[in-house]
Structure formats: C-alpha cells, structure tokens
Amino acid sequence: MNSPEIKAFIQRNADLFWFIPENRKETISEESLVETILNYGSMEAVIGLIKLMSIDKVAQIFHDTLHRSERRKNNYHELTINFFDHLFRRYAPRYSDGKSS
C-alpha cells in the first residue's frame, strides 16, 4: 500500500497515468510509478520522486526492473535507460552492475 505522500505525488502527476482508471491510480506498484516517471515525467517530477523515495530506492527499482526480463526492459525508452543508468552509476553506484544497459 502506498503512503499518503506517494498517493499525493501520484495525484499531482495524474496526467502521466492516463491509462490507469482513476480509482486505481493511488494503488499502482512502485515499479510502475518509477517506470512512468522516469519515462514520461518532467525533471521536476523525477526530482520529486527521488526526494520522496530516495535515489537509492529509485535506482534499485530501475535496475531490478531492467534485469528482470527483456520484456520489462523494453518498457523503458532507450534514451531513458542510458540517461538514468549513467546518473545512478554516479549517485547510487551500489545499485549499478557497472555496465551500460
């Protein structure tokens, strides 16, 4: 279950979750939240997510999702993977495998 802070964050960025019914937006998984914000959110939304969840947590979810399966990896845009892989290797290196994805 998402915290009240995460629910409020989702509501502030509700337009990014247009594909999810209104009554289910606040219950999306952390993986879906991170994926959507990193792929489609503004830099302000990305910074807000990192402040809310911590850079380590966002990096962990990002890297776990990328390495879970090829299908999940393909949910991220190629440029998104490249940018955040570099960012997280610099600022959350323990969640990086040291290779570009």
pLDDT in tens, 30-89: 999 999 999 999 999 999 999 999 999 999 999 998 888 776 667 899 999 999 999 999
Tokens of 80: 């998104």
Residue 95's pLDDT band (cuts 50, 70, 90) = confident
> What would you report as the CA-atom Rg of the chain, rounded to the nearest whole angstrom?
13
> Could you tell me the pTM of the whole model?
0.87
Residue type, 45: A
pLDDT at 101 over 60: no
